[in-house]
Structure 1
Amino acid sequence: MANLLYLVHRLPYPPNKGDKVRSYHLLRHLLQRHRVFLGTFLDDPDDEQHLPTLKALCPDMHVERIVPRNAKLKSLTGLLTGEALTLAYYRSAGMQRWVQEIARQHSLQASVVFSSAMAQYAQPLTPQVPMLVDFVDVDSAKWTQYAPAHRWPLSMLYRREGQRLLAYEREVAAQAHRSYFVTPNETALFVSQAPECHDKVQSLSNGVDADFFSPDPQRVSPFSAGEQAVVFTGAMDYWPNIDGVSWFVADMLPRLRAHWPRARFYIVGRSPSALVQSLASEHVVVTGTVPDVRPYLQHAAAVVAPLRVARGIQNKILEAMAMEQAVITVNSCADAIGASAEQGLLRAETPEEFVQALQPLLDTPGRAADLGVRARAYVEHGFSWQAHLSGIDQCLGTLPSTDALNPAEAAIHV
């Protein structure tokens, strides 16, 4: 057993959105063999109720609370310092003190960093404490991708953030013992922008909890009798999701209802933005937070993921496939998962193609059910969390033993 410092930018419980799903399963995986000291931020008051559960899972835990509005204002100091705004957003003297104290009191074999913003707390401990960084996606590319979709000054800020964050990602990856990205495509993208790190990065795929996300004949449908529910799931304060559902409502839904008048679009997810809420109508349901997303997936006539701005593997797609649903999505999301149309992952790039892909699912429920069974089989076989996360074990096994580290050597002032 080793002592590991695990730094996560958002409370890794409950696993109810993309990054929290991955950070939660990584935490569970690390706890199987190691003592984990978890430092994390809580940015949603609704998550306060889950702290006892997380504490029971990981007793050595430190939580700093963030008020997003205040943190956004604080992040603007990055305009004066020249750094990425993301770093200032997650900067906390309390977190710095806690990390320093853990390093003084315990021999740490490694720090495991989830998302680049948390590396600022682990960097002062290197090289005495080797740093493993789970970037997940190339976040700098995401900010750059946001820029054209927004007007000035946001377009300027997003473009700047992409540039500054890339510089920081390169610095962190050069300093890290090993860095991980969620797909080979993300890994290749980062290496193309940081060629000096080519021999220190690798892919570490997402998984899906196929036991939890599984159909249950006793599960009651949330939909009205006779309607054909087309479902999208995700955190609805996240720009790629907001853009995706807005695109579907504006460009796909009118075409869809012209052929299937009983079709209704369900936007299922927490914290819907004002823009998402404005989409609600007779034919569009915005649910907000739901106690369980599985009934919406299980009883949907079809599931879509029209994400024009997306990076890496989409957990929402894996979860829908595990629930025996075929999913229609764009090429970039389909490429990351790798399933074919006959394995339940249908591709569409234009509104017309989305409607065409929906036709066999809405017209022939038996065909949809058959593809759903194949979709579940695909993710059960290829997306086990245990199998994918074992990649980090290989790296941890090559590090010096805990006994070889002296707490005083790791007591670096932050």
Structure 2
Amino acid sequence: MGDLLFLAHRVPWPPDRGDKIRAFHILKHLAAKRRVHVAAFADDRADLTGDSGLTLSETHILWRGKSRAVAGVQALVSRRPLSLTAFEQREMRETVAGILARHPIDTIYVFSGQMAQYLPDRTEASVVMDFVDMDSAKFETYGATTRGFAGWMMRREAQLLLAHEASVAQTADASLFVSEAEAELFCDRTHAGRVHAVGNGIDTAVFDPHASFKPQKVTGPLIVFTGQMDYRPNSEGVRWFVEAILPQVRSAHPDVRFAIVGRNPDADVRALAREPGVIVTGAVGDVRPWLAAASVVVVPLKLARGVQNKVLEAMAMARPVVASAAAATGIDHGGTISVAEDASATVEAIVTLLADAAAAQRLGDAARVRVIERHGWAAQLAALDAVLDEIRLPNGHEVAA
């Protein structure tokens, strides 16, 4: 068995946000079985010097400092997706070529569609393309709800990315998505073959209400949302919650507070801290104390692709969860979370849980049991092992990057 090259659009460690969590656990799984080399970008200076804690061979973390404006101009001039020009860098191309020249690479694992542009034009290695989510569909949704030039750019991005995704999938030995729903959507849109679902897992020993962490001191009932707060679906979700849901919940439970927990809150999210009962924490070292303190965890996302790690984390912490239908997609929850279709259903679910703490805890306990049974990393990555066992490429192939 030869070596594996792992390409990632963001350095996988520390695993402290959704994409990095998936990438880290897949990388950890692969590195336990063979020699792995990593080439990845960093967009946080702290990630340039962090330790993976894994046994890896060559590791190259390159700074990605290109501004969005520059990437946008390059996208328009080159008629390429902004998602690709934002990650286009000669140093990365040279780094990948050097690793391929120095080592007996027989498998290239590409994490996220942005990194497919670094595949060589021709390779004897097997190519596993982990799209995670169908990004073109995300931009299609953005474009349908955004006006002006920004909306035009998003619709353009959706069209160009779909062509890119289809081209890469046509030549990859396997294309992976985080859920069956995403895989089916991709097949419907592209008619691609060799498409598989490899779900996200959760480390239930770390996300455990009885694990060792410093408790978060709170008084009164607390509703919690966790996430990267400069990410548009998260920002839009909490703003909708504060405007449409929280006032009605506070009518029934006047002392309830809503904590928005996550790094890089944008200006709109920061402004929510001025609203009655709203807490905006910014970055925290550990989300578990906030989850453990929550009376209810909410995931009110109108747009959500793939599997939401924040839902799995809350389930593992044995908290009652109220999620939108979009946020619950892809999670085998078996009715152990409350799924709300609209604002009124969301309010009713939260008010009911706040009124009966014992019932809320029973729901949380059932959610933890369910997530241990269905969403452990070992169970999820067994599907990846099956994919890797299937792919064989004796004669090399052309790669569309």
TM-score (structure 2 length as normaliser): 0.94
Equivalent residue for 2:40? 40
- d(CA) in 1 for partners of 2:231, 2:119: 27
Letter in 2 for 1:242: S
Equivalent residue for 1:88? 85
* Equivalent of 1:380 in 359, 365, 372: 372
Letter in 1 for 2:150: L
3-state SS of paired residue (2:14): coil
Equivalent residue for 1:298? 292
- d(CA) in 2 for partners of 1:348, 1:166: 31
- d(CA) in 1 for partners of 2:223, 2:53: 38
Say if 2:195 is the partner of 1:194.
no
Encode CA deviations 1:66-88: one digit per residue, 9 max, x unaligned: 125x2542343111111111111
3-state SS of paired residue (2:13): coil
Equivalent residue for 1:283? 277
Residues 81-160 of structure 1 mapped to structure 2, 5 A cutoff: 81-126=78-123, 128-160=124-156
Equivalent residue for 1:181? 177
Letter in 2 for 1:385: W
| Sequence identity percentage | 37
Equivalent residue for 1:66? 64
Is the CA contact (8 Å cut-off) linking 2:334 and 2:370 kept in structure 1? no
Offset of residue 399 of structure 1 = 4.6
How has the CA–CA distance of structure 1 residues 46 and 72 changed in structure 2, closer, same or farther, with 3 Å as cutoff?
farther
- d(CA) in 2 for partners of 1:73, 1:371: 49
3-state SS of paired residue (1:206): coil
Higher relative helix content: 1
How has the CA–CA distance of structure 1 residues 83 and 387 changed in structure 2, closer, same or farther, with 3 Å as cutoff?
same
* Equivalent of 1:333 in 320, 327, 334: 327
Equivalent residue for 1:15? 15
Letter in 2 for 1:317: V
Is the CA contact (8 Å cut-off) linking 2:253 and 2:351 kept in structure 1? no
Offset of residue 219 of structure 1 = 4.6
- d(CA) in 2 for partners of 1:321, 1:218: 18
RMSD: 2.0
Encode CA deviations 1:322-377: one digit per residue, 9 max, x unaligned: 00012111112223113243x2x101122211110012210111111111110000
Encode CA deviations 1:28-84: one digit per residue, 9 max, x unaligned: 01101111110100001232352xx1275424111110125x254234311111111
Structure 2 gaps of 5+ residues are none
Is the CA contact (8 Å cut-off) linking 2:229 and 2:266 kept in structure 1? yes
How has the CA–CA distance of structure 1 residues 144 and 223 changed in structure 2, closer, same or farther, with 3 Å as cutoff?
farther
What is the aligned length?
A: 398
> Stretches of 4+ moved more than 3 A in 1?
217-221, 398-401
How has the CA–CA distance of structure 1 residues 5 and 75 changed in structure 2, closer, same or farther, with 3 Å as cutoff?
farther
3-state SS of paired residue (2:294): coil
Structure 1 gaps of 5+ residues are none
Is the CA contact (8 Å cut-off) linking 2:233 and 2:302 kept in structure 1? yes
- d(CA) in 1 for partners of 2:355, 2:53: 48
Say if 2:228 is the partner of 1:228.
no
TM-score (structure 1 length as normaliser): 0.92
Is the CA contact (8 Å cut-off) linking 2:218 and 2:293 kept in structure 1? no
- d(CA) in 2 for partners of 1:273, 1:57: 36
- d(CA) in 2 for partners of 1:219, 1:261: 29
- d(CA) in 2 for partners of 1:291, 1:136: 26
